[in-house]
Structure 1
Amino acid sequence: MTAKNRRTFLKRLGQGALGSMALPAFGNTLLESWKTEGLSNGDTNSEAYWELVKSQFNIAEGLSYFNNGSLGASSTKIQQETQGFRNLLDGFPSKYMWGGWADEKESVREKVADLFAVSSEEIALVHNTTESMNLIARSFDLQPGDEVILGNHEHASGTIPWKVWQESKGIKLVRPELPILPRSLAELTSIYEKAITPRTKVISMCHLVNTNGMLLPVKEVSKMAHENGVLVAVDGAQSAGMFTIDLKDLDCDFYAASSHKWLFSPKGVGVFYAKQESQQYLKPLMVARGYKDKSIRRLENYNTRNLPEVLGLGASIDFHNTIGAAVIHQRSFELKSYFRSKIENDKRFTLKSPASDSLSAAIQVVEVNGKEVKAVKQKLWDDYGIDCRPMSSHGLNALRLSFAIYITKKDIDYLVSALKEVAV
């Protein structure tokens, strides 16, 4: 290829890149809808606004999706932008896989860091929470007799790495039992405090447990743990994106999240936070060229990876910010409150998530009294098109219901009506 032809080719490629990204912004889409439907500047207190937000998601016809805690949906806009990146990559694979998107990748890192109020030098862009929990558990040179505290509501991906990488070496895994319906954050903090001994090295805990949506006191436990020389690792798979999170304020050492849940990113991309002064403890799960990098990027050194999904995470953060983190925070708790108000005084149901906003959020768990949960889940699906998660562990026998931002109060009314019919 001559120099002239090469310049022409690269110019056309650049035009293609711009063309593929010349999609209407989510914000513009909403503004156009506001004008058409007469909404006043996106009144977030109006259900019409949230119907608009819901319209940004292409949920299958006839499906009422209350299972975001298992896996979230990407909005149409996020899908479009991610597909644009895929098209670019396939148009010039070697350029975009190795270096062509270096600046764009760093931009995503900065967006994630801003969302969690930390430095971009404390954020690694990984695959999911499971990878991050493995990274943490495998990194430590613990000695036989050392202890790691894992509450009994931890997800399997938060416990199995410790069992495989540490318990097999003679490290003791301490499993304190947490109440299903704690009275206060102090009660939960006290349980962790009592579990600490002079041999405790790490506390690994969920931010919001997947079993019954209980919020755990990360900030309070971190303060107490650090006073005892103990590090704190947090599984944030169910919290990141559901409500506002300031990781500096929480003061944990490590925080892992799968952005494909409550941030609605493409599947198979996640976020890992490591406090600057705690990064010294971490070792990469994989090594390749560039392994001498001292920055947090050494933890994501995969060589070839699915970069369109990583850049799609940036689109999901843009989507989140267009609505507004504070607005999403408020809506999460509003939907929780609305749902509870519909059934909390009905003797046919038992709510098995704590009531206080300091102890639970947009995942609520409810038992249909006298009914086996898997049968209830199946009937909701067969007769009403409602998808949710049955929870049988910890004596729950209850449905786990997720109230993501594409859920409206009308959807909750439909859910409650179905629950009442099933409860007969």
Structure 2
Amino acid sequence: MQSMSFTEPIAQVIEKRMQTDRRMFLRTLTGATAAYTLPSLIDDWPSIIHRANASQPVEGDNPRNGKTIPGRDQPSSMDDKNDESFWFNVQQAFSIDRSYINLNNGGVCPSPRVVMDAQRRQLEFTNNAPARHLWQVQDPQLELVRAKLARLYGCDPEEMAITRNASEALQISLNGIDLKPGDEILTSTHDYPRMIATIRQREKREGVVMKQVPLPPPDASQDEVVGAFERGITSKTRILLVSHVVFLTGRILPVQDICAMARKRGLIIIVDGAHAFGQIAYDGREIDCDMYGVSCHKWLTAPIGTGFLHVRRGMIKDLWPLTAPEDPKSENIRKFEEIGTHPDAGRLAIGEAIAFHLGIGPKRKEHRLRTLRNYWATRLMKHQKVKLFTNLAPDRSCAIGTIGIDGIEPLALTSHLWDKHKIIVTPIDHEDIHGVRVTANVYTTFDELDLFCEAMENVAREGLPKNGK
């Protein structure tokens, strides 16, 4: 399979992936009304693309009137400082309610308008003649979506199963491997609760054993992280489950090195990629794991209830499906999709989400997400009562940041931000991590992040209001 480059300039990505001109992508982002409401931006689309790639200053583009913004205005090869017209149109591609501020895009993210339109169109088509359209027309169309997902992730389409979410994908993996009583599954104390529950169920039913290793502090070296997992391996360890990006703090783990270590030890390697795919740019082939599960309704902005499972070709036959197909020992990856009657509309709309993602450019999107996170994080870190649980180094995290305020319970802070400011965040209260998880996405504006910062700064200075006032 031809290798996919994640370093192409955005203009080349659009020309190659969308097979249309640059103006068409802008119209796709903003809808038909763009021709009337944003004529100057449409007419100037080629120069916007050129400036985005060249990072050349253009007078009047800085939304803060020339003021330097910490975490955003530092020069880089993909600097956003002079590219806000591009991101304005990306923001306008989402039909969302701006009367509140959604900073929990890590749980599930809104889809852009083109994705919603595609899902609606496919659902209406299904409904016209469900028995024919669903199974004879739409099911075969999923093969192109499969191929696109495989191309973006980095595997053969025959190693790519389309699932409803990462939980389903990872439960297929964790439940589908034959184990004996006493066999061990190794994971960390920072892995996702549903996956921990899945392993605990196997403990109760089959007598397998779960071992959890604590992760080193956020400022520890990546070698220390690999070492922590390696020290947890015993002669009884059969499976290693590791998160690519930790859901609690957004920490990027060195999964390639962890997988290489585990492979030398003869382990089956399962990677939880729920928060990696669509957030950071990578090639799945370089990770070299046996199974990799993803939720596409997070950072890819695909419809809710979409995900995928990559299974190494040699592992497919012996991996039991979660729901029984006619031949559970088949080598066909589609056996993991036998879940009974279900709509194809959301799955087919994944194709539009991929086109949107590639239209922005994976590397450019990663950079933007990190820029948005750094914008609020570097501002709030100046306060003595504020503690950041996320390492901001580019190789350690991206869009996700978890932050706490001394003396303030995470759930109480979450409730206050919503009740008083209509800001949505996620409470995190886990061992030594006590704060709120903040996840902006490409539609988030700097003004919205300013409002979040002001609300947090007020709590840091004055505490939570008494009696809810």
Q: Provide the TM-score with structure 1 as the length reference.
A: 0.89
SS at match of 2:238: strand
The Cα shift of 1:221 comes to: 0.6
How far apart, in 1, do the equivalents of 2:330 and 2:228 lie? 39
* Partner of residue 6, structure 1: none
Instruction: Tell me the alpha carbon deviations over residues 363-397 of structure 1, each in whole angstroms, 9 at most, x when there is no partner.
Output: 10111222222222222112221110111112322
SS at match of 1:257: strand
Identity over aligned pairs, percent: 26
Between 48-57 and 240-249, the greater mean CA deviation after superposition: 48-57
**Are 2:365 and 1:328 aligned?**
yes
Where does 1:11-410 land on structure 2 (aligned, <5 Å)? 27-30=26-29, 35-37=39-41, 38=44, 40-42=47-49, 43-44=51-52, 45=80, 46-166=83-203, 168-289=205-326, 293-410=330-447
SS at match of 1:281: coil
Alpha-carbon distance change, 140 to 174 in structure 1, aligned in 2, over 3 angstroms: same
Residue identity in the other structure for 1:286: T
SS at match of 1:28: helix
How far apart, in 2, do the equivalents of 1:350 and 1:166 lie? 36
* Partner of residue 19, structure 1: none
The Cα shift of 1:26 comes to: 5.1
Contact kept in structure 2, 1:147 and 1:199, CA below 8 Å: yes
SS at match of 2:276: coil
Contact kept in structure 2, 1:291 and 1:301, CA below 8 Å: no
Contact kept in structure 2, 1:240 and 1:257, CA below 8 Å: yes
Instruction: Tell me the alpha carbon deviations over residues 383-423 of structure 1, each in whole angstroms, 9 at most, x when there is no partner.
Output: 22111011111232201000211123332222212211222
Instruction: Tell me the alpha carbon deviations over residues 276-303 of structure 1, each in whole angstroms, 9 at most, x when there is no partner.
Output: 2232331111234576752111111234
Structure 2: gaps spanning 5 or more residues: 1-22, 53-79, 462-469
* Partner of residue 73, structure 2: none
Residue identity in the other structure for 2:218: L
Between 198-207 and 329-338, the greater mean CA deviation after superposition: 329-338
How far apart, in 1, do the equivalents of 2:193 and 2:404 lie? 23
Instruction: Tell me the alpha carbon deviations over residues 307-326 of structure 1, each in whole angstroms, 9 at most, x when there is no partner.
Output: 00110112211111111112
How far apart, in 2, do the equivalents of 1:327 and 1:340 lie? 20
SS at match of 1:219: helix
Structure 1: gaps spanning 5 or more residues: 1-23
Note the aligned Cα RMSD (angstroms). 2.0
Q: Provide the TM-score with structure 2 as the length reference.
A: 0.81
Residue identity in the other structure for 1:159: I
Contact kept in structure 2, 1:185 and 1:216, CA below 8 Å: yes
How far apart, in 1, do the equivalents of 2:329 and 2:224 lie? 44
Count of paired positions: 401
* Partner of residue 5, structure 1: none
Contact kept in structure 1, 2:316 and 2:330, CA below 8 Å: no
The Cα shift of 1:233 comes to: 0.4
